[in-house]
Amino acid sequence: MNTASKLGAYALGLAAVFGGAVGVGDIAGPAVATVQAEKAHGGGHGTADTKEPVVPGGLQVSQGGYTLVPEATVVEPGEETDFRFTVNGPDGKPVTRYQPLHGKELHLIVARRDLSGFQHLHPTQAGGGVWTIPLTLPDAGTYRFFTDVQPEGAKEQLTLGTDVTAPGDFRPLALPKSEPVATVDGYEVELNGTLTPGTTSKLVLTVRKDGKPVTDLEPYLEAYGHLVALRDRDLAYLHVHPDGEPGDGKTRPGPEITFYAEVPSSGAYRLYLDFQHDGEVRTAEFTARAGDADRPAERPAETDDGHGDHEHG
Ligand SMILES: [Cu+2]
């Protein structure tokens, strides 16, 4: 059974908006679907059991005939700009019609390439297929922009990615150490579960405030939590939705949010959990490691002299 169908089983009924192959926790899904679609196009359809090499989402600016076209790829740091872009279709023209994904036609995720400065934004259409969003890149550096979209007529959901640079001097931040509890605005979020490359891993995030479990999380974009994972060093992208939805009669509004995620390789990932409580969306961030290979990927946070990749002894 290949990755897409395995995850499809988990995704049944809860991620239909993302399309069957994308599903829950499926960094590999879109690429697998692409491979299969190409095979189908070439006349073969029956090789679903063959494990194909998979390109994770977000690494390409153009995929399946659709291309992310930013109006500018240089943005002054610390200043609000009107960031504009289009997604151009196979005919070269901006796409104007999209299938909503979790209540929005387009999700824009921004992170600096050192995995700091995460933003999850929802641009609006300005007409003619042009998307616009007031955006501030707080500090200098190169940022990765991801758009989650499903253009009408596209076979699947796509995550297109482009670099945008905020010019100036900057020092990359070390990847924070892997800690089970993240704190944001007085909330503590605890991460339980282990990412195992190539298999579906259960992650449970527990939200507390002042030491007490939060049991009245609010739906945000049709879910109690959204989890984005970015792979350290190349920013391969994974967007996971929880197991269960608000209003399904069994999913509780906290304190636990359960995700099923599959990461494509060992190494370090930065996880960003968006959750809403008391009318505000907050992001809890974690560093998580998948597998044991590639240990040097975890750059020491405090005592680092910038040469954390050296192994002694
Ligand atoms: Cu979004």
* 247 exposure class (CB count in 10 Å sphere: 0-12, 13-18, 19+): exposed
Tokens 């944001």 belong to residue: 184
Tell me the two tokens of residue 114.
């050192």
As a whole-number percent, the residues of the chain with pLDDT over 90 amount to: 71
pLDDT digit string (tens) for 225-266? 999 999 999 999 998 888 888 999 889 998 999 999 999 999
Report the separation in Å between the CA atom of 266 and the middle of ligand 1, taken as the mean of its atom positions: 26
Distance 220 CA to ligand 1 centre (A): 9
Region 16-42: mean pLDDT is 35
Domains and CATH numbers, the chain: 3-41 (no CATH), 62-166 (2.60.40.10), 181-289 (2.60.40.10)
Sorted by sequence, the CB contacts under 8 Å of residue 271 that are 6+ apart come out as 191, 203, 227, 228, 229, 285, 286, 287, 288
Classify 81 as helix, strand or coil: strand
Rounded to whole angstroms, how far apart are CA atoms 119 and 107?
A: 10
Distance 124 CA to ligand 1 centre (A): 12
Q: What is the pLDDT of residue 53?
A: 59
The CA distance from 229 to 235, in Å, is 9
Render pLDDT for 7-28 as a digit per residue (tens, 0 to 9). 333 333 333 222 233 333 333 3
Q: Is the pTM higher than 0.95? A: no
pLDDT given for residue 241 in this prediction: 83
Please check the confidence at residue 179 and state whether its pLDDT lies above 90. Answer: yes
What pLDDT is stored for residue 242 in this prediction? Answer: 87
Report the separation in Å between the CA atom of 35 and the middle of ligand 1, taken as the mean of its atom positions: 26
Instruction: Please report the pLDDT score of residue 295 as a whole number.
Output: 52
**Ligand 1 centroid from CA 297, angstroms:** 28
Asked if pLDDT for residue 115 goes beyond 90, the answer is yes
What is the SS3 assignment for 56?
coil
CA 225 / ligand 1 centre spacing (Å): 11
Q: What is the C-alpha separation between 183 and 284, in angstroms, rounded?
A: 7
Q: How far is the CA of 184 from the centre of ligand 1 (A)?
A: 19
Evaluate if residue 48 carries a pLDDT over 60. no
